[in-house]
Each structure stands twice: as structure tokens, then as C-alpha cells.
Amino acid sequence: MRALHLNPGNLYGGVETMLVTLAREAPWTPGLTPRFGACVDGRYTQELAALGCPAEMLGAVRLSRPDSVLRARRRLTARLRAGLADVVVCHQAWSYAVFGPAARRAGVPVVLWLHTVSTRRHWLERWAARRAPDLVIANSRYTAAAAAAAFPRAAITTVYCPLSRPADHSGDGARHAVRAALGTPSTDVVIVQVGRFEALKGHHTALQALTRLSDVPGWTYWIAGGAQRESDVRLLLSLQGQVRESGLERRVRFLGERTDVPRLLQAADVYCQPNDGPESFGLSLVEAMLAGLPVVASGIGGALEIVDQSCGVLTPAGDVDAVAGALRRCVTDTAFRTTLSAGARLRPDVLCNAERQMQRIEAALAAVAAAPPALSTLAANGA
């Protein structure tokens, strides 16, 4: 069975990380051949090509230019009629709104994979919700609950993202090399946050909390992530200003966009992402735990399905004192940090085991491909 995954490709974040993982972990599902379609050539498509899965380029699409939408749809319809795929998987509302009609025109079933919570406040989400897909895949139970309201007549199943196990860079030599390259003492407790610069990810809250640890010696904060949009650039500049004003210049490192995130995580000690707003899942939290990092995160959204007391600390959203208290304990209490680290290493296999999750994906897509075009009776639940 051939599944075509559609994603614009203009950004690189959790969705793109997961799609690259699907290409990498394809051997777990020999009955499922993943294929990929994109509109923009960039880091995402380059990583797919390096794995031997070049993306089908459908052409640049701007919603403000209907002619570009029509050209991309015609190209996709022609390729599907030529046998490109047995099922089309649209990642996020944008891909579904743009390409869902083209897949239906070619007689191919359509799946909508949601990686964010649909509120139907944005016009694009309302546009996408005009017709239910054959199946909605939600990346968490939190996302699935919102999807049920947005698509009341659609079948919905929950599948946590599969996660590849990275190469082991945890040895002292590799750890010291990463820290030396980033001007960080080998003895410091390194607190790290990884991800795109989005306001809801709580960078400002983390920095406010860390100003309250100015009396605690021996810690450094790494912020890894690139500014990909104008709003990202504004947030980055604001964070850099906050660091200067709070006197944390010697303790905070802005690392920019990185392609070696597993090495960074394995050279760190604590992961901090105190979201100001809920995220649908939080793949970065699971990646951090895979490296054995205790997680300090806000107890909202998908994080509630990921972090428990065995592997981290959940704090109320926006509670700077609570975040500061959790970080202080992680930095100063070695035994506490070591206990959480041991629990963190076990948690990803419970949530995101690659073999198990790939097989869930295969089963869900196979059911859609084998069913009539309007799949309305499937009621699949669970992660």
C-alpha cells in the first residue's frame, strides 16, 4: 500500500521531524510504502532525499493566488490517476484544504493528520472542515477531543508520533566536545530548550524564572532553534533584549537552528519548556526524555499525556515562581535529577516506540484504503 504524505515544506518543526521519521522507520512496515509531496524545496525535502525518499514537488502555492492552487491540484490529480498512491494523508488543515479536493477528484481516499488543535477560529480551518475526511489521525488525545468538535461526522483515531532512537553521543568525550564548542563549562548543569520561536513555547517565562536563580552557581541555559518567520525574528530579538536586561548574557546561549539536536540533548542535563499556551503533543519533550533529560513543562495540553512524576515536573502555565522552583531543585539536587533522568529514559518507549507506532499507522491507513470512499463507520480510539 502506498501512502502519499502532503506537507508544504516551507518550515521545519515537529511535523517535518515526524514525517522524516516516517521515511526513516519505513522498514518496520514493509506493507506500507510512504511517499511524500511538498510545495517548497528546503531542509525538509533535502532530509527526505537523503533517506532515499525524494518528495513529489507539486509547485509553489499561495492561497492569495487561486491559479497557483489550481495548478498544484491538477498536478496532484494527474499523478494520483497515474497510480502514485492508494491513500493521501494531508498533514494539517492547509494541506487538506488545498489538496483534499484533488485527491477526491482522483478517487483516492483522504486522511487528515492533525498536529495542532483545531479551534475553527481561523478561516482556513473552517474551510477545511466543510467536508469531513475519510479519517482524522490526531497526534494526542487532546487533539482528538478538539477534532471531534471540528469534524463531528469523521472517524478519529489517535496515534502518537513514532520516534527514532538517535546514535549514542552521551559519552564523556562527545559531551565535553559539544560543551566546549558552545563555550559551556563541563561541570555546569545545562538547561536546554529546543524548538521554533513561537510565543506559546514559554521562552520568556523560562528566562524570567532563571533570573531567580542568579544566586545559584554552575548552570547554563541553551536555546536551540531558528527564526523562520517574521514573527519568529521579533520573538528572538525580544528574548535577546530580555537576556541583556536581566544580566544573563554569560549564562544564556542562543544556538540558532541546529541539525544535531540529539547531540545537544545528550550533552545537556535538564529540558525546560514552560509553555504559556497548550500544545497538541510536544515531540520535543519526548526527544528530551529519550536523551535522559528530566523535563520541566507546563501542565496543559498534550504535555499532560507525556510528562508524569517519574520523569519531570509539571508547573501551572505562566507561573514563574513554580518554574523557578522546579529548575532550582533540578540544578541543585543531584539525586533528584538523577532519579528523574532514569524515569525519563523509560518514558519514550511507552509513548512513541517506533515499531509499535508505525504499525498503528499502517493499520489505520490500510483500513481507509480498503474501505469505500466515505469511511464513516470506523471508530478507532487509543494511542
Let me know: does 142 contact 302? Beta carbons within 8 Å.
Answer: yes
Nearest to 160 by CA among 292, 276, 305, 327: 305
What are the angstrom distances between the C-alpha of 85 and each of 58, 79, 355?
Answer: 14, 8, 23
Task: Tell me the backbone φ, ψ of residue 27, rounded to 5 degrees.
Answer: -60, -20
The per-residue pLDDT for 125 is: 79
Let me know: does 153 contact 131? Beta carbons within 8 Å.
Answer: no
pLDDT(381) > 50 = no
- The rounded percent of the chain whose pLDDT value lies above 70 is 96
DSSP H or E segment with residue 309: none
The residues, any chain, with a CB within 8 Å of residue 155's CB and separated by 6 or more, are 134, 135, 136, 375, 376, 377, 378, 379, 380
Q: What is the mean pLDDT of residues 181-199?
A: 94
Confidence of residue 250 (pLDDT cuts 50, 70, 90): very high
Q: How far apart are CA 143 and CA 138, in angstroms?
A: 6
Give me the amino acid identity at 355. E
The per-residue pLDDT for 377 is: 33
Instruction: Return mean pLDDT, the chain.
Output: 93
Higher pLDDT pick, 141 / 173: 141
pTM greater than the 0.75 cutoff: yes
Let me know: does 8 contact 40? Beta carbons within 8 Å.
Answer: yes
Q: What is the mean pLDDT of residues 69-86?
A: 97
What is the tens place of the pLDDT at every residue in 193-230? 999 898 899 999 999 999 999 999 999 999 999 888 89
The per-residue pLDDT for 375 is: 42
Q: What is the mean pLDDT of residues 15-35?
A: 96
The per-residue pLDDT for 251 is: 96
Q: How far apart are CA 371 and CA 253, in angstroms?
A: 52
The residues, any chain, with a CB within 8 Å of residue 18's CB and separated by 6 or more, are 115, 139, 161, 162, 283
Q: Which domains does the chain have, with CATH numbers?
A: 2-162+353-370 (3.40.50.2000), 172-352 (3.40.50.2000)
What are the angstrom distances between the C-alpha of 228 and each of 5, 72, 195, 223?
Answer: 22, 24, 11, 15
- The rounded percent of the chain whose pLDDT value lies above 90 is 84
Residue 338, classified by CB atoms within 10 Å of its CB into exposed (0-12), middle (13-18) or buried (19+), is exposed
What is the tens place of the pLDDT at every residue in 317-348? 999 999 999 999 999 999 999 999 999 999 99
pLDDT(380) > 60 = no
pLDDT(171) > 80 = no
Q: What is the mean pLDDT of residues 232-260?
A: 94
DSSP 353: B
What is the tens place of the pLDDT at every residue in 275-322? 999 999 999 999 999 999 999 999 999 999 999 999 999 999 999 999
Q: How far apart are CA 265 and CA 224, in angstroms?
A: 10
Judged by DSSP in three states, 191 sits in strand
Q: How far apart are CA 195 and CA 226, in angstroms?
A: 8
Number of H helices, E strands in the chain: 15, 13
DSSP H or E segment with residue 221: strand 219-224
Q: Return the C-alpha cell found at 111.
A: 486522511
The per-residue pLDDT for 383 is: 56
